[in-house]
Amino acid sequence: MEAAAARNAIMEFFQNPPSPSTLFNAYASLSASLMILRSTPNPIPPPIRRFLWSKIQNYFSTYSSRSLATIIIEDSWGVERNLLFDAAKVYLPSKVSPGSLRKVKMGKIPSRKNISVGLPEDENIVDFFGDVKVIWRLICVQGETKDGNPGNKSYSKQKWHFQLSFDEKNREEISSDYLQHVLAESTSLTQEDRELKLFSCHSGRKSTYLQHPASFETIAMDADMKQSIIDDLNRFLSRRDFYKRIGKAWKRGYLLYGPPGTGKSSLVVAMAKHLKFDVHDLELSSIFSDEQLRDVLLRMPSKSILVIEDVDCYEEVHARSKNVKKIKNASITSQDMNIPPDPMEMGKGPGCTLSGILNAIDGLWSGCGEERIIIFTTNHKDKIDPALLRPGRMDMQIELSYLKPSSFSVLANNYLGLRDGDHPHLEKIKSMLQNTEVTPASVAEQLLRSDDVDVALEGVINFLKQKKMEQVNNGDDEGSAATPGNSESIKLSEN
Positions that interact with Mg ion (CB under 5 A): 264-265
Residue 260 near ligand ATP by CB under 6 A: yes
**Radius of gyration for the alpha carbons in the chain, expressed in angstroms and rounded:** 30
Residue 221 lies near ligand ATP (rule: CB under 6 A): yes
CB-nearer residue toward ligand ATP: 266 or 286 = 266
> Which CB, 260 or 392, lies closer to ligand ATP?
260
**Residues touching ligand ATP: how many (CB under 6 A)?**
15
Strand locations in 312-395, DSSP E? 372-378
* C-alpha distance across the termini of the chain, in Å: 75
- Taking CB under 6 A as the criterion, the residue among 23, 219, 305, 360 binding ligand ATP is 219
Residues whose CB falls within 8 Å of the CB of residue 227, separated by 6 or more in sequence, listed in order: none
- Residue 444 in the binding site for ligand ATP (CB under 6 A): yes
Residue 263 contact partner, candidates Mg ion, ligand ATP, none, CB within 5 to 8 A by sort of partner: ligand ATP
Amino acid at 252: R
307 binds ligand ATP, rule: CB under 6 A: no
- Stretch in the footprint of ligand ATP (CB under 6 A) among 169-177, 202-210, 264-272, 455-463: 264-272
Q: Which does 273 bind (CB under 5 to 8 A by kind): Mg ion, ligand ATP, none?
A: none
Task: Provide the b/e sequence for 149-180 (b: ≥16 CB within 10 Å).
Answer: eeebebbeeeebbbbbbbbeebeebbeeebbe
Shortest Å distance, C-beta 270 to ligand ATP: 9
Minimum distance from CB of 335 to ligand ATP (Å)? 36
Which helix (DSSP H) or strand (DSSP E) does residue 308 occupy? Answer: strand 304-308
467 binds, among Mg ion, ligand ATP, none (CB under 5 to 8 A by kind): none
Q: Bridge-partner residues for 167, per DSSP?
A: 68
- Provide the minimum distance between the beta carbon of 441 and ligand ATP in the complex, in angstroms, as a whole number: 3
CB-hemisphere CA count at 13 Å for 316?
23
Answer for which of 20, 120, 263, 369 binds ligand ATP (CB under 6 A) is 263
Q: 28: part of which helix (H) or strand (E)?
A: helix 20-39
Q: Which stretch binds ligand ATP (CB under 6 A): 19-27, 68-76, 352-360, 439-447?
A: 439-447
261 belongs to the binding site for ligand ATP (CB under 6 A) = yes
Choose one: 260-268, 276-284, 383-391, 466-474; the region binding ligand ATP (CB under 6 A): 260-268
Chain centroid, CA 255 distance in Å:
19
CA nearest neighbour of 311 among 371, 394, 426, 229 = 394
In 3D, which of 150, 313, 254 has the Cα closest to residue 494?
254
Indicate which single residue of 266, 292, 323, 353 sits in contact with ligand ATP (rule: CB under 6 A): 266
* Amino acid symbol at 388: L
Using CB under 6 A as the criterion, what x/- string covers residues 372-401 for binding ligand ATP? -------x----------------------
266 binds, among Mg ion, ligand ATP, none (CB under 5 to 8 A by kind): ligand ATP
- What are the CA-CA distances from residue 130 to residues 114, 141, 178, 318, 357 (Å)? 29, 32, 10, 59, 49
Task: Please check whether residue 239 is in contact with residue 226, taking contact to mean a CB–CB distance below 8 angstroms.
Answer: no
The gap from C-alpha 3 to its chain's centroid, in whole angstroms, comes to 52
Please tell me whether residue 490 binds ligand ATP under the rule CB under 6 A: no
Please name the helix (run of DSSP H) or strand (run of DSSP E) that holds residue 491, with its range, or none.
strand 489-492
Query: Closest CB to Mg ion among 137 and 264?
Result: 264
Check binding of 30 to ligand ATP (CB under 6 A): no
Q: Does 311 interact with ligand ATP (rule: CB under 6 A)?
A: no
Out of Mg ion, ligand ATP, none, what residue 321 binds, judged by CB under 5 to 8 A for its kind, is none
Residue 320: enclosing H or E segment and its boundaries? none
Q: Least distance from C-beta 254 to ligand ATP, angstroms?
A: 13
User: Which of the stretches 196-204, 232-240, 261-269, 467-475 binds ligand ATP when contact is defined by CB under 6 A?
Assistant: 261-269
**Which of ligand ATP, Mg ion, none sits in contact with 286, Cβ below 5 to 8 A by type?**
none
Measured CA to CA, the distance from residue 301 to residue 304 in angstroms comes to 6
- Give the Cβ contact number of residue 57 at 10 Å: 13
Contact status, residue 121 vs residue 133, Cβ threshold 8 Å: no
Q: Which of 389, 392, 385 is nearest to 367 (CA)?
A: 392
Contact positions vs ligand ATP (CB under 6 A): 218-221, 260-266, 379, 440-441, 444
